[in-house]
Amino acid sequence: MQPMTLPRSTQISLDATPYYHCVSRCVRRAFLCGRDTESGKDYEHRREWIESRMHKLAEVFALDIAAFAVMSNHYHIVLYIDTKSANKWSLTEVITRWKKLFKASSLAQRYLQGDTLDHAEEDRLKEVVSLWRERLMDISWFMRCLNESIARQANAEDNCTGRF
């Protein structure tokens, strides 16, 4: 009997290494990039989507791309988790990075605008920013942001819905 796949959260130990090799595959016999010999369609332009998105996300996350390879139906990426840099980010830096990908809370928006926050609001903002900082160092969040974006583009192009 084959062992079940373990979630990334149980496989990652920053004490052991900050480098991780991730693989993501297409489903439903979909083509990520290259030429589909059965249909004759050329999906090579998708390689640029993937590379561009990887690099954009690496600018936001505390993850550096050590290496990657994009194949016809899957890709490999080796990520370096840069916890030292992320732990030095100010509240403003974390919020600004988070806003590049997601909507920030009204409390975070007020903070960036220079509004005065009361003690309880400051405490709540620090809790939220701490969570965002963790997520910006998280491989699962990185992969989610990468795969979801590519799936949306490919599904729109293929005129379908669901997991890509």
| DSSP line for 22-40 | EEEE-STT--SSSB-TTT-
Pairing of strands 63-70, 74-81: antiparallel
Comparing 110 with 34, the larger pLDDT belongs to: 110
Q: pLDDT band for 157, please (50, 70, 90 cuts).
A: confident
CA dihedral of residues 78, 130, 99, 20 (deg, nearest 10): 0
Domain 18-82+139-156 has CATH 1.10.3720.10: no
Q: What are the pLDDT digits (tens) for 34-80?
A: 888 888 888 889 899 999 999 999 999 999 999 999 998 899 999 99
- pLDDT for residue 139 is more than 90: yes
Any idea what the Cα angle at residue 66 is, between residues 46 and 28, rounded to 5°?
35
Nearest CA to 110 among 59, 19, 118?
118
Taking CA atoms, 40 is separated from 44, 61, 154, in Å, by: 12, 37, 16
Residue 6 is predicted with a pLDDT of 67
Q: Which sequence spans correspond to the domains of the chain?
A: 18-82+139-156, 85-134
> What's the predicted TM-score (pTM) here?
0.86
Q: What are the pLDDT digits (tens) for 5-37?
A: 666 566 777 677 899 999 998 876 777 888 888
Name residue, tokens 């993850």: 63
Residue 162 is predicted with a pLDDT of 77
CA atoms within 13 Å, Cβ hemisphere of 137: 20
